[in-house]
Amino acid sequence: MQDEMQKLIAQDLGISDLPIEQQQSLIGEFGAVALKAATVAIIEKLSEDKRGKFAELAQAGDPAALQVFLDAEVPAHEQLAKDAVAEEVRKFKEFQKSA
């Protein structure tokens, strides 16, 4: 299952011709960048006082509580995250073309 996911991600990022080790490294790095981009997109929609609560819930490591909070405070958070990740994929592909 994980190998299939890696193949799909590598294809989407346009790196499937690279050695497996490089693919894994790039996918890991891209995942961190994409997560940050998604988080920033969501945080930007929160008021200052709600950002503190978001940070508190994120640090507590309770995904269910964080989900409830985001559902209430940023109803479109899932789409915001998807859009942010899609934008990072687009940027990555553009970078690949220019490299």
* Single pTM value for the model: 0.81
Residue 42 carries which side chain, given as an amino acid letter? I
From 48, 50, 13, 15, select the one nearest 33 (Cα to Cα): 13
Q: Taking all residues of the chain, what is their mean pLDDT, rounded to a whole number?
A: 91
Mean pLDDT over 28-37 rounds to 92
Which residues have C-beta within 8 Å of that of residue 56, sequence separation ≥ 6? none
For residue 42, count CB atoms less than 10 angstroms from its CB and return exposed for 0-12, middle for 13-18, buried for 19 or more: buried
Return the pLDDT at 62: 92
CB 81 within 8 A of CB 37: no
DSSP 8-class letter at 47: -
Split at pLDDT 50, 70, 90, the class of 34 is: very high
